[in-house]
Amino acid sequence: MPAVFVLIWSTGFIAARFAMPNAPPFTFLCWRYGLSIACFGAWIFCARAPWPVSWAQWLHLAVTGVLMHAAYLGGVWAAVKAGIGAGTVALLVGLQPVLTAVWLSALAAPKGVWVVTVRQWAGLGLGLAGLTLVVWRKLGFGEVTPWNLSLAFVALIGITAGTLYQKRFVTRCDVRTANTIQLIAALLVSLPLAFGESEAMRWNLTSMAALLWSVIGLTLGGSSLLYLLIQRGAATRVTSLLYLVPPTTALMAWAIFGEALTVPMLLGMALTAVGVALVVTAPPARFSN
């Protein structure tokens, strides 16, 4: 499941590169949310999947939808539309495991308990160093502006806060109905932003293919896998998988767009793999004062 998740999640940046020249970001995402809701709705109806029985769970799922769909996807796709490179935004969003580890430690420290080990911190550091090596050549060439950097930062905060919030407040429930509630919340938040966009959606083979993959592969597949992974694993270990996304994206960009793979990029991929292994295999330590 983790390997499949990394492969699917990595295609999100490729899909954004294909789609954004042909569409405004929030209009495209509203189409994505709406079609995904329709697909999930048909699946739920045929399978008679159970809905959450508690209104509190509906609220918690709606909050995670706003954070992990509206904020994260909206920030990434709007940043790409504003000129930032797919590799650069992948690097910035790849800081999520570091923020997750810092947040967990900050919450635990007043109680005298540390939930992240030195080995895990070392893995997080290696992963960050690897990410930097993978995409460093895309930095410093004028593609990063205060505006698109702010949009990428919104995406980073959204996916980090959403992951932690879901792990803390959302109980186990059917992944299909849970995703549907999240998508409805994301659609309601994104619609006003879409109405404010002046650019028209240009329907062509590229935009339709990007939309089709965004619905089937990324939302129905990737988001469902992320939901299941968060339910089944510690937040730090799950988010550490995202360290593998930028190197995987770089490989896809090489295969699809012919982008070169340099020695520093290959070294960065190796460092990233080692860093993820350290975080995933290290058990969390708990020391009490």
Cα 207–chain centre separation: 21
d(Cα 253, Cα 64) in Å, to the nearest integer?
Answer: 30
289 pLDDT band (50/70/90 cuts)?
very low
pLDDT beyond 80 at 180: yes
d(Cα 186, Cα 164) in Å, to the nearest integer?
Answer: 18
Cα–Cα distances in angstroms (integers) from residue 262 to residues 20, 89, 246, 266, in the given order:
27, 19, 14, 6
d(Cα 241, Cα 8) in Å, to the nearest integer?
Answer: 12
Burial label, 264 (beta-carbon count in 10 A; 0-12, 13-18, 19+): middle
Q: Read off φ and ψ for residue 121, nearest 5 degrees.
A: -60, -40
pLDDT digits (tens, 9 = 90+) for 95-147: 777 777 777 776 766 665 666 778 878 888 887 888 777 767 666 666 778 89
CA atoms within 13 A on the CB side of 266: 4
What ranges in the chain are assigned the alpha helix state H?
2-19, 25-47, 55-65, 72-81, 86-93, 96-108, 118-135, 146-169, 175-195, 205-213, 224-232, 235-240, 245-257, 263-281
pLDDT beyond 60 at 288: no
Mean residue pLDDT of the chain comes to 84
pLDDT digits (tens, 9 = 90+) for 39-71: 999 999 999 999 999 999 999 999 999 999 999
Instruction: Give the model's pLDDT for residue 248.
Output: 83
∠66-67-69 over CA atoms, to 5°?
70
pLDDT beyond 70 at 28: yes
Instruction: Provide the percentage of residues in the chain whose pLDDT is more than 70.
Output: 86
For the beta carbon of residue 142, count every other beta carbon within 10 angstroms.
6
Which residues, in sequence order, are CB contacts of 108 under 8 Å at separation 6+? 114, 115
256 pLDDT band (50/70/90 cuts)?
confident
Average pLDDT of the residues in 229-249 = 71
Q: Read off φ and ψ for residue 182, nearest 5 degrees.
A: -60, -40
Burial label, 28 (beta-carbon count in 10 A; 0-12, 13-18, 19+): buried
User: Encoding tokens for residue 76?
Assistant: 């990434």
89 pLDDT band (50/70/90 cuts)?
confident
Residue 247 vs residue 286, higher pLDDT: 247
Average pLDDT of the residues in 85-96 = 78
